[in-house]
Structure 1
Amino acid sequence: MRAETRPGSVKGDLDRWFLGGLDRAWSDTQLLCLPHSGGNGSSYRAWLAAAESEVDVVPVQLPGRETRLFEPPFTDQPTLVAELTGVVSRAGFRRIALFGHSMGAVLAMNLCRALEAAGTPVAHVFVSGHGGPSQRPAAAFPTDSSDETILDALGSTGAPNYEALLRDPELREMVLRVIRADLGLVLTGFVAGPPVQAPITVLNGKDDLTSAEWDVSEWAEVTRGGCTAHLLPGDHFYLVEQGAEVARIIRSALAVTEAPAHDEDPSR
């Protein structure tokens, strides 16, 4: 149900962190979506469009991408998580859930723990296209890898718009710049800590070639809220074809997740 409420008198530069900004009517739940390596927040608008009837899909816009193209991207995940924690905590969202694909899955996990520690509850975490949080994807390689190595690895995942990258030198340069920065985020990925209170839903593609040695059961070890897993048709970017089913899973999970009180102590 969409409520005619806004995040209050949010000012300053918070808007740039969220695609579409903050000055809009909100439903009961805001699903903050964190990008994959080299990806843009806007992808989620197409992938999860079917969820918008009941939740707000709010892509998180990181520096160095799309509307923030000329800002230096983050290369250290703990620093990014600390920045995001402050931004999300001040944004005035009604009820927060997190969705992250690939690199974004670990970023979502780290952000959830940091938000809970700061007193901001998270209703649910959806992790996609990734094994357990401490596992590094097979495509992770040194930041000094050649352009060809990076592009070959990207192509092997079935990345959307891959052919366009090969044809458009300007687009290729922009994506490679972000991917090289994101490799730093991947290499400084999972931050160990206590289990989170939020339930976790794990989603992966059945034909994802990067998942051969994944142990997705590790996600269950980092939450006190319960963990469920779904394996859907498709490769690493199964979301392109399975967005409607993913949206159904999201709506169902959020419907049964009780929103914790804002003064709840996340350590209990």
Structure 2
Amino acid sequence: MKADVERGSALDDVDRWFLGGLDRAWGDTQLLCLPHSGGNGSSYRAWLAAAEPDVDVVPVQLPGRETRLAEPPFTDQPTLIAELTDVVRRAGFNRIALFGHSMGAVLAVNLCRALERAGTPVAHVFVSGHGGPSQRPEASFPTDAPDETILDALGATGAPNYEALLQYPELRRMVLRVIRADLGLVLTGFVAGPPVQAPITVLNGKDDPTPAGWDLDEWATMTHDTCTSHRLPGDHFYLVGQGEEVARIIRASLAGQPAPHAPGPPTKDEESSR
């Protein structure tokens, strides 16, 4: 019961879900950025800085990270998506687009579907560093795996903070706590349900070893609209060096795109697939 009260209190303060808060002048489109496993919202401020001022980059700050370090992280994705849907709808954004890297790609598509079901349209979904919707790269080891196993997996992806994790025990403990919770999100995070109405853009690093053997075309089955794909130089964290090109793709995808309309009621086929 105490945990439920704490979650309710978090919903009373919508600002805490968005790094930088909501007290600022918004442009035409707000790009809500969802983190990778173990990641923080602040990463997007560097990765996608070039997207502004055309697009407002709004990192989503999940519990257990950075400014919300004292809060328990989520381990169940349906619960997280339900709360995110509520706070996003209450935030007063002008035009919503979603960007998610790795685990965040799954969060983005599931959040898009939930928002559309609630009558809130999404202009575009950008999924990065992840294979098709049925593939879950971070679930290659159990939530109780030894620290060394998780750290080795992070090193293999080229995680930008890997050396710092090895050097600073306190930082390592904080990140491992979040990663273990995020593995729970991954394990409860099938991209299930009907296709979304928003168009999808898929981005991956050419040298990323993670998507070897993945069927990236599977993303096309997740939208009633168009699905385009880009492969850029770099590994799993290609965003570190390719932020300007990713920002260009985002701006081009959103420029001139008409404002989306709230989706109508699902068809019988869509209802049966839920």
* TMscore range, shorter length: over 0.9
Deviation at residue 256 of structure 1 after TM alignment: 3.6
Alignment of 1:140-159 (within 5 A): 140-159=140-159
Identity of aligned residues (%): 82
Aligned-pair CA distance for 1:266: 6.2
Residue 188 of structure 2 is aligned to residue 183 of structure 1: no
Q: Is the 8 A contact 2:130 2:211 kept in 1?
A: yes
- Residue of structure 1 equivalent to 2:24: 24
Which protein is richer in helix relative to its size?
A: 2
**Structure 1 residue 53, shift from structure 2 partner:** 1.9
Query: Structure 1 residues 139, 156: closer, same or farther in 2, change over 3 A?
Result: farther
CA distance in 2, matches of 1:187, 1:12: 28
Tell me the SS of whatever aligns to 1:209: coil
Contact 1:76 1:185 in 2 (8 A): yes
Aligned to 2:215: 215
**Which residue does 2:228 correspond to in 1?**
228
Paired position in structure 2 for 1:172: 172
Number of residue pairs aligned between Structure 1 and Structure 2: 257
1:61 match: 61
Q: Give secondary structure in 2 for the equivalent of 1:204.
A: strand
In the alignment, which residue of structure 1 is the partner of 2:105? Answer: 105
Instruction: Give the secondary-structure state (helix, strand or coil) at the position aligned to 2:94.
Output: coil
Counterpart Cα distance in 2 of 1:242 and 1:190: 28
Encode CA deviations 1:220-266: one digit per residue, 9 max, x unaligned.
Answer: 001011100000000000000000000000000001421124x5526
State how 1:220-259 maps to structure 2 within 5 Å: 220-259=220-259
AA of the residue aligned to 2:215 = D
CA 1:190–1:39: 2 relative to 1, 3 Å: same
**Structure 1 residue 191 displacement after superposition:** 3.7
Residues 99-138 of structure 1 aligned to structure 2 (within 5 Å) = 99-137=99-137
Q: Does 1:50 align with 2:50?
A: yes
- Deviant stretches of 4+, over 4 Å: none
Task: Note the alpha carbon deviations across 1:72-113, whole angstroms, 9 max, x for none.
Answer: 000011110011001101111000000000000000000000
2:264 maps to which residue? Answer: 265
Instruction: Report the residue type matching 1:265 in the other structure.
Output: G
Contact 1:197-1:266 at 8 Å conserved across structures: no
SS in 2 for 1:211: coil
Partners in 2 of 1:139 and 1:116 — Cα distance? 27
Q: Which amino acid in the other structure matches residue 37 of structure 1? A: S
Once the 2 structures are TM-superposed, how far is the Cα of residue 192 of structure 1 from its aligned partner? 1.1
C-alpha distance in 1 between matches for 2:88 and 2:121: 11
Across the aligned residues of Structure 1 and Structure 2, the Cα RMSD in angstroms comes to: 1.3
Counterpart CA distance in 2 for 1:55 and 1:26 is 9
Q: In 2, distance between residues paired with 1:126 and 1:266?
A: 24
- For the 8 Å contact 1:140–1:186, the answer to whether it is kept is no
TM-score (normalised: structure 1): 0.93
Is the partner of 2:255 in helix, strand or coil?
A: helix
Conserved? CA contact 2:37–2:179, under 8 Å: yes
User: Cα–Cα, structure 1 residues 21 and 179, in superposed 2: closer, same or farther, change >3 Å?
Assistant: same
**SS where residue 33 of structure 1 aligns?**
strand
- Segments of 5+ residues of structure 1 without an aligned counterpart are 1-10
In structure 1, C-alpha distance between the alignment counterparts of 2:58 and 2:75, rounded to whole Å: 23
Match of 1:201 in 2: 201
Aligned to 2:14: 14
